Structure 1
Amino acid sequence: MWNFAAIIFSLEIESVFSKGEKRMSGKNVTAHDVMQEKNDKLRDQKYNDYVSAVTPKHSWFANLCKAFLVGGIICVIGQALVNFYQSCGFDKETAGLYEVITLVLLSVLLTGFNIYSPLAKWAGAGTVVPITGFANSVASAAIEFKTEGQVFGIGCKIFTICGPVILYGITFTWFLGLIYWILKVMGVV
């Protein structure tokens, strides 16, 4: 019962701060109405109506298009940077290295100026998948916790979001390397 009440309370607080009460089936249903309902089936129906009313509606196709567009633009910028660095006389590998450094630097700067967050909110996964999303997660954690000091703020919290990415990236890379080595020893590869 407490868990159910906590969910209802959090939804009520969210609805107060977002758009207030919503219209459902011709009448206003609040979290209080849901909690006061004694009939289990009716309470469940009111709860489902309430949740569907306060839950924001998103179009998966629009989100897909926005993510594709922004992710594509980031990749085009990356390719333009590679082409620029190659025209400056660097080989392909070095140009790729400088491209990654430049994208990370731009991402950190945009995060610092609070431009990356609204873009990421609008574009969704389009900004998360490239290396810029990783740089944003590190920079935003550092900015958020800088008031707590160098050690307990930035030092402890900087890898909160991207730590699992590093952990699982290294772990699975090691396992794939091991599988590749075994296949190479067996003569399969």
Structure 2
Amino acid sequence: MELNKKAYDEYVKQITPVNELGSDMLHAFITGGIICALGQASVMLMMNYFGMEKEEAQTWMLIELILASVLLTGFGIYPKIVKWGGAGALVPITGFANSVVAPAIEYKAEGHVFGIGCKIFTIAGPVILFGVLTSWIFGIILLIGKSLGIA
């Protein structure tokens, strides 16, 4: 019995990935920083060269980042960026777009309805659900706070 436990512990040690916290954080910082810098450069370009107002330029920048994420996911590049950059690639809106597109690509062989249609919100669905629910709860708390003169 003791021999099996030792063998199992050794097996677990072999297959458990070793993470370097410092380098993981640096990779996330660099990746997220590049995504944000590209977004800011896009906004500045549209404001300065195309004469857009700030809000309009920001809207177009979000569309550009989402489209880039979707295309990079489709070509298999964004998962490599996520593997290297971790949370730096998953946290921005590009990560959300990736989480919507990836299951659709994975299940496309099952057809448009039962593959793409059913699986496209596998990961993003709970994010949307709990995001809306949390916003609603905080909205109620704010409404009560305002009516009591607290907020």
Task: Sort the TM-score into its range (normalised by shorter chain).
Answer: over 0.9
Unmatched segments (≥5 aa) in structure 2: none
TM-score by length of 2: 0.93
User: Which ranges in structure 1 are unaligned for 5 or more consecutive residues?
Assistant: 1-38
Q: Which amino acid aligns with 1:48?
A: D
**1:140 is matched with which residue: 99, 102, 115?**
102
1:131 aligns to 2:112 (yes or no): no
Aligned to 2:141: 179
Q: Does 1:99 align with 2:78?
A: no
**Distance (Å, rounded) in 1 between the aligned partners of 2:14 and 2:111:** 42
Deviation at 1:92, TM superposition (A): 1.5
**Which one has the bigger helix percentage?**
2
TM-score by length of 1: 0.75
Aligned length: 150
Correspondence for 1:62? 23
One-letter amino acid matched to 1:98: W
How far off is 1:45 after superposition? Answer: 2.7
Alignment partners' CA distance in 1, 2:88 and 2:6: 36
Task: Kindly report structure 1 stretches of 4+ aligned residues shifted beyond 4 Å.
Answer: none
Query: How far did residue 127 of structure 1 move?
Result: 0.5
| Matching residue of 1:52 | 13
Q: Report 1 or 2 for greater relative contact order, CA contacts < 8 Å, sequence distance ≥ 6.
A: 2
CA RMSD, Structure 1 to Structure 2 (Å): 1.2
Q: Larger deviation: 122-131 or 52-61?
A: 52-61
Letter matched to residue 183 of structure 1: G
SS at match of 2:122: coil
